[in-house]
Amino acid sequence: MKEYTLHKILLLGKLTRKMITILGPTASGKTQLAVALANKIDGEIISADSRQVYRGMDIGTGKDLNEYTHEGKTTPYHLINIREAGTKYNLFEYQHDFLTCYNDITNRGKTPVMCGGTGLYLESVLKGYQLMPVPENEQLRKNLEAKSLEELTEILLKLKAENHTNMHNTTDVDTTKRAIRAIEIETYYNEHKTAPRLFPQIDSLIIGVNIDRDTRRQKITQRLNQRLKEGLVEEVEDLLNKGIKAEDLIYYGLEYKYVTQYVIGEITYAQMKQQLEIAIHQFAKRQMTWFRGMERRGFKINWIDASLPLDKKTDMIITLKNNYKQL
């Protein structure tokens, strides 16, 4: 993983970029960095977080909307709080919504700053995955509902092999509900060989926030404790009281999975906290694995040390933006 010093950056050639992407694992400080950067370059944030799209899921997804105000200036953000909790938001919808925001921002002469940690969303934009909208298949769901997670995983892997799909997301098989939806998508692609929707190539400078493992683990633990104090359990209780099914919250994974299991009495508070903390650490590790995979797939990620002062990090990115070229 290659990190850039300001000296090295100044030696690079010049190339104008249409978008800046800031990615990193959970608790790396990427949102704060993206906001500070956007504040300096007259930019606007496009979120690449698969769960922050849902209204009412604030504490568990770490929206931290107060972070979008930096030095007295509030930076506009997009693709946060755009869907009702309990619904299902997919990659095709994200691509559509992203393009709408991207075109709006660039048409107004602003710089888009895509920021997030959902690798599949990030890569779908940067690589230009070409997808088709996939409707629900009730008959297929009925045929699969009695199968175990292991059986569903085997079916999914077989379909992906047939479709030559290389976008495997490990969260596809977190629950039977997710696995069934993933099979539904792959089955549709297998049966419909029509030309996919075209997605334009978007030129972007990619910045990775590199936080060392021990610091990351410490911040994850601190942040989980803070979110519990801020009312994470109460947030989940409120969502359930509004009529959202427990299985739908569990579908969202991590905080909503384990806290929901606690609220409905399946596990104790201590079990919830311990299992959730482990799951978040594992999630951060999977994020880094995805980003390293992106590099192997040809993406140039310019890693910047998370421990550097915020102003220095933003200055380094601006210098990269003005003087960067693909090597």
Side-chain half-sphere of 243: how many Cα atoms within 13 Å? 2
Q: What whole-number distance in Å separates Cα of residue 319 and Cα of residue 48?
A: 24
* Cβ neighbours, 10 Å, residue 259: 28
47: closest CA among 108, 131, 118, 126?
118
Q: What is the pLDDT of residues 35-60, one digit of tens each?
A: 999 999 999 999 999 999 999 999 99
Retrieve residue 172's tokens.
């596809």
Taking CA atoms, 227 is separated from 69, 70, 193, 236, 278, in Å, by 20, 22, 46, 12, 16
Pairing of strands 69-70, 73-74: antiparallel
Q: What is the pLDDT of residues 80-91, one digit of tens each?
A: 999 999 999 989
* Residue of 15 and 259 predicted with greater confidence: 259
Domain 6-128+207-241+277-323: give its CATH architecture.
3-Layer(aba) Sandwich (3.40)
* Cβ neighbours, 10 Å, residue 126: 21
Q: How confident is the model at residue 17 (pLDDT cuts 50, 70, 90)?
A: very low
Q: How confident is the model at residue 327 (pLDDT cuts 50, 70, 90)?
A: very low
Q: Taking the model in full, what pTM does it have?
A: 0.81
Residue 82 burial by Cβ neighbours in a 10 Å radius (0-12, 13-18, 19+): middle
* Residue of 159 and 166 predicted with greater confidence: 159
Give the distance, in angstroms, between the CA of residue 164 and the centroid of all CA atoms in the same chain: 24
Q: What is the pLDDT of residue 196?
A: 54
Q: What whole-number distance in Å separates Cα of residue 26 and Cα of residue 285?
A: 9
- Backbone CA torsion sign across 310, 51, 284, 260: positive
